[in-house]
Amino acid sequence: MKKQNSFMLLLSKIIAFKIRLLLRFRYKILVKGSEVFQNDSPVLILPNHQALIDPVILLSQIYRFSDATAVIAEKYYNMPVLQSLFKRWGAIRVSDLEKGNRDTQVLKVITRSVVKGFRRKKNIVLYPSGQIAGQGYEKIFNKKSAYHIVKKLPEDVRVIGVRITGLWGSIWSKARTGKSPDFFIQLLKGIFYVVANLFFFLPKRTITIEFEDLTSFAKSKALLGQKPFNSFLEDFYNLHGEESPLFLKHFFYSRELKRKLPGKIYGSAREAQYEALPNDTCNAQLDRSEKSAGTLL
């Protein structure tokens, strides 16, 4: 299998190793199914998206076994400090649709760029949902990118599903405020928590990453259409059922946190249901939901 150029591969592995060391201060990460990377054929990696930090966690673990590049929202890709690195890394820049950017060419750009990457024998990470989850399970809604790409996959490309659990309720998820958190603000908070807990005493959150080869099932479902394909992925991601939020304390000497989910979570399945209702019915439903804020779907 043709790899990234040797310099970028070495640099990526070094960065991934350092990230894994840093993540150990907060997370206990369990990896299952890593044997899927023993095959030399290129792979399309399709993870669920619980929190803003999970791409960092996932890619740092993948580089233990193989290499990969990612599809990255333009607001992150265009950051002055990282843009040059992302470009040399071979990352694929796409419009940030969660913020309302309606680039009508985004699907064509993603599909063309990903297929081009496979011709170069790259492993590519793509998030089918296109946004972090708004509830304790994955919902893809009507997103099309993963479906269209799998339909056009070269014969030698495999599809690897990734099920990530344990991040719903973290500061990186929507479970705290109902909105997507700011990456750099949370990063600064994380650094502060590590220092405030004397580096080694920060309470740890357990994260499980499960890799599974979905090639034959994914390709056959794609032939049936977008809806069956997305439903298939959701069933895979939500195999263990809905996850309850874990609001883990940030200081080893403090009491356990007692929090509730916010009354409204942007991008959630509940919000989508309200938007589909008539205005009067929607307002009544919202009033009831605010009174029972914190109740899981």
**CA angle 94-276-48, nearest 5°?**
40
**Residue 171 forms part of a structural domain:** yes
φ and ψ at residue 98, rounded to 5 degrees: -65, -25
Give the domain extent around 286.
260-297
Q: What is the CATH number of the domain that holds 111?
A: 3.40.1130.10
Q: What is the pLDDT of residue 273?
A: 76
* pLDDT score of 112: 86
Q: Tell me the pLDDT tens digit for each residue of 37-52.
A: 998 899 999 999 999 9
Are both 114 and 207 inside the same structural domain? yes
165 located within any domain: yes
228 and 287 together in one domain: no
Same domain assignment for residues 190 and 289: no
Same domain, 27 and 130: yes
User: The whole model's pTM is what?
Assistant: 0.88
CB 230 within 8 Å of CB 284: no
**242 falls within a domain:** no
Q: Looking at the structure, do residues 170 and 283 belong to the same domain, yes or no?
A: no
Task: Please state, as a whole number, how many other Cβ atoms lie within 10 Å of the Cβ of residue 26.
Answer: 21
Same domain, 225 and 268: no
Which residue type occupies 167? Answer: L
Using CB atoms within 10 A of its CB, is residue 150 exposed (0-12), middle (13-18) or buried (19+)? buried
Predicted local confidence at residue 26, as pLDDT: 96
Same domain, 280 and 184: no
Whether residue 247 lies inside any domain: the answer is no
- Domain-embedded: residue 253: no
User: Are 141 and 91 members of one domain?
Assistant: yes
pLDDT at position 161 = 98
Asked, for residue 62, whether it belongs to a domain, the answer is yes
List the chain residues with pLDDT less than 50. Answer: 1-3, 99-102, 286, 289-297
Structure tokens at 78: 């265009």
Do 29 and 122 sit in the same domain of this protein? yes
- In this structure, is residue 252 part of a structural domain? no
Residue 250 in any domain: the answer is no
Residues 269 and 189 in one domain: no
Q: What is the DSSP secondary-structure string of 210-266?
A: EEEE-HHHHHHHHHH-HHHHHHHHHHHHTTT-PPPP----SSTTSPPP-----S--T
The residues that bridge with 32 in the sheet, in sequence order, are: 210
Same domain flag for 176 and 124: yes
Domain count across the chain: 2
For residues 219 and 279, membership in a common domain is answered with no
- The Cα 290–Cα 293 span in angstroms is 5
- Helices (H) and strands (E) counted in the chain, each on its own, are 11, 7
Centre a 10 Å sphere on the Cβ of residue 206 and count the other Cβ atoms it contains. 12
